[in-house]
Chains A and B, each alone.
Chain A
Amino acid sequence: MILYDLALGPFAEFGFMRRALVGCLALSLGGGPIGTFLVIRRMSLMGDALSHAVLPGAALGFILGGLSLPAMSLGGAGAGLTVAFLSGLVTRLTPLREDASFAAFYLISLALGVLLVSTHGSNIDLLHLLFGSILAIDDAALVLIGAVASMSLLCLAVIWRPLVVECFDPGFLRVVGDRGGLVHTAFLALVVLNLVAAFQALGTLMAVGLMMLPAAAARFWVRELWSLSAASSALAFISGFLGLLLSYYLDLPSGPSIVLVAGLGYCISVLFGPRDSLRALYLANS
């Protein structure tokens, strides 16, 4: 029973811990499949770029509306979608490759965001924006995260099949006359929305951690697309759960704790996972 108290006690006792846990669950449900698609499309770093691109919009919302959730979320989503759109435009109109144009826009965006916050706010504000605080999630934030997660799952259910085909054989959709580009755009919008939901809790810099690390770890455990998505959601939630406990008992900041636990999960998966891990590849016959 001691373990039970250690593991669940904090959540039973404190409302802010419960809200943080529910927030993690919602983020994991939406982020799992989206992270999986990012990994499979070799867009891992674009998720990172987009998470940084959210900053100036959130900062602008912060300057105009203070620490208000709607203002910062709207601003963040606007900035993220703008960067996604502009990068896509540059990729289509010039020979510059997609990853390079993403990098260019997110660096501009990040610098702009830091500039805005540091000239109009205090360093504490900047830290809050960059690293978030999942323990300060209120009911409004929880509703936003839950809404984004629900919408993401619904949207994914609708575009699942074309999205899969677009990753697997991008030419095919265009040859049979389907609008593959539309699916790509919708997917990028989902990425931005999930990052905006996550940045309340984890901050702009860490938002992508709960999305990518479990998805990258999952491929060392399972094979099919649905099981990859489910496994990354599960790994993300476990990381959130353990990370929150860690931050509670050791008095550590919650965002980095959660992402570090997810990172530990990734390292364990690379070393010992049943599929293609170092153990499976090199120690199988010894």
Chain B
Amino acid sequence: MRGSAGDAVVLDNVTFAYDGHPAVHHLSGAFACGSLTAIVGPNGSGKSTLMKGIVGLLRPAGGLIRSAGRGRGGIAYLPQHGEIERRFPISVIQTVLLGHWRQMGWARGVTRELREEAQRALAAVGLNGFEERPIETLSAGQFQRVLFARLIVQDAELVLLDEPFAAVDERTSEHLLSLIVSWHREGRTVAAVLHDLDQVRAYFPKTLLLAREPVAWGPTREVLMPQNLRRARHLSEAWSGEAEHLGSISTSKPARLTRQSGSLRVNGNEDGPLCREGEERGRSVR
């Protein structure tokens, strides 16, 4: 097992598959504690799949994922735009209060402190006075701000964001980006799936370039070199070409992955959190 005590998430030869077709394969590496990582890659390269795997929504077909997030503080996860029912009859403040799930659970009441914390989070995302608005009346950008407020309230060591700026106006994305940077400064481990490479170069020290297999993972400047980007594009052409072939040529079978269940253990908690607990850090919001 690779990875050291300073890693928040360790991936050891991880493979995800749908119907036996690999979506991400043979990915090894680690998100260091306190790192800020961008995950980039062509469409269909398995970025969202990887996110879902780390938070525990998908089981890997092979390999091992260890994450610190299952311990204290948990993982704060922003799913891709469209995975949350935006027409649901729930108010803004109720949505943000969900971030307190560990304190509130099924039945405990909302105390004044919890509510005030949620209101401070709303203020931090620029939505003062939106408390009682039903979420279906919000624009896409405002709704994304609400979800960011929920992330703030969750106060997690590990924050995973799946395309946080998709379908969001420019002012909102600038504001949300500043929040992400502040989380990084507070010492949290943050990883985000992104498309804007200029943004990645400007704000994200680490990058994982994914094209179903890892193309490069490390300091952003080294990862986003032209030859790496070319290779990612080349790989993506191979699989989109394969998809077209599958329709016409019935004899060519795609490589099937077999389940390697021997070493399968998802988000194993036995070794305890990998990040040091009780790390001192400044908090801008709380």
- With A161-B107, A165-B98, A175-B57 known as contacts, the answer to whether A40 contacts B88 (CB < 8 A) is yes
- Chain A residues with CB under 8 Å of B83's CB are 169, 171
- Chain B residues with CB under 8 Å of A225's CB are 89-90
Residue pair A161, B106 in contact (C-beta under 8 Å): yes
Q: How far is the CB of A143 from chain B (nearest CB, A)?
A: 29
Q: How far is the CB of B220 from chain A (nearest CB, A)?
A: 27
Residue pair A175, B84 in contact (C-beta under 8 Å): no
Contact pick for B74, options A165, A177, A228, CB 8 Å: A177
Tell me the chain B residues, 88-129 only, with Cβ under 8 Å from chain A.
88-91, 95, 98, 101-102, 104-107
Q: Does B22 contact A (CB under 8 A)?
A: no
Residue pair A175, B75 in contact (C-beta under 8 Å): yes
- Chain B residues with CB under 8 Å of A165's CB are 98, 101
A165–B55 alpha-carbon span in the complex (Å) = 17
Residue pair B101, A168 in contact (C-beta under 8 Å): no
- With A158-B107, A178-B101 known as contacts, the answer to whether A168 contacts B75 (CB < 8 A) is no
Residue pair B85, A171 in contact (C-beta under 8 Å): no
A167–B88 alpha-carbon span in the complex (Å) = 8
A135–B229 alpha-carbon span in the complex (Å) = 74
Q: Does B77 contact A (CB under 8 A)?
A: yes
Tell me the chain B residues, 127-171 only, with Cβ under 8 Å from chain A.
134, 154
Tell me the chain A residues, 191-223 only, with Cβ under 8 Å from chain B.
223
Residue pair B106, A158 in contact (C-beta under 8 Å): yes
A128–B9 alpha-carbon span in the complex (Å) = 61
Secondary structure dominating the interface of A: helix
Kindly report which residue of chain A lies nearest to residue B54, judged by CB atoms: A175
Q: Does A124 contact B (CB under 8 A)?
A: no
Chain B 70-85 interface 0/1 with A at a Cβ cutoff of 8 Å (1 = within): 1000110101000111
- Chain B residues with CB under 8 Å of A176's CB are 74, 101-102, 154
How many chain B residues touch the partner (CB < 8 A)?
Answer: 27
Residue pair B85, A169 in contact (C-beta under 8 Å): yes
Q: Does A159 contact B (CB under 8 A)?
A: yes
Q: How far is the CB of B191 from chain A (nearest CB, A)?
A: 14
How many chain A residues touch the partner (CB < 8 A)?
Answer: 23
Q: Does A162 contact B (CB under 8 A)?
A: yes
Contact pick for A177, options B70, B79, B106, B154, CB 8 Å: B70
- Chain B residues with CB under 8 Å of A164's CB are 90
- With A40-B88, A167-B88, A175-B57 known as contacts, the answer to whether A162 contacts B106 (CB < 8 A) is yes
A107–B83 alpha-carbon span in the complex (Å) = 31
- Chain B residues with CB under 8 Å of A175's CB are 55-57, 74-75, 77
Q: How far is the CB of B116 from chain A (nearest CB, A)?
A: 20
Residue pair A224, B106 in contact (C-beta under 8 Å): no
- Chain A residues with CB under 8 Å of B84's CB are 168-169
Residue pair A171, B57 in contact (C-beta under 8 Å): yes
- Chain A residues with CB under 8 Å of B79's CB are 169, 171
Kindly report which residue of chain B lies nearest to residue A222, judged by CB atoms: B89
Q: How far is the CB of A61 from chain B (nearest CB, A)?
A: 35
Kindly report which residue of chain B lies nearest to residue A163, judged by CB atoms: B106
- With a 10 A CB-CB cut-off, give which of A95, A175, A225 has the most chain B CB atoms: A175
Q: Does B19 contact A (CB under 8 A)?
A: yes
27 A-B contacts, Cβ less than 8 Å apart?
A: A40-B88, A40-B89, A95-B19, A159-B106, A161-B106, A161-B107, A165-B98, A165-B101, A169-B79, A169-B84, A171-B52, A171-B55, A171-B77, A172-B98, A172-B101, A173-B101, A174-B56, A174-B57, A175-B74, A175-B75, A176-B74, A176-B154, A178-B105, A223-B89, A223-B134, A224-B91, A224-B134
Given contacts A40-B88, A224-B91, A225-B90, 11 further A-B pairs with CB under 8 A are A162-B106, A169-B85, A171-B57, A171-B83, A174-B57, A175-B57, A176-B74, A178-B105, A223-B89, A223-B134, A228-B89
The residues of B with any CB-CB pair to A shorter than 8 Å are 19, 52, 55-57, 70, 74-75, 77, 79, 83-85, 88-91, 95, 98, 101-102, 104-107, 134, 154
The residues of A with any CB-CB pair to B shorter than 8 Å are 40, 95, 158-159, 161-162, 164-165, 167-169, 171-178, 223-225, 228
* Pairs A-B, 3 closest by C-beta atoms: A168-B88, A169-B84, A175-B55
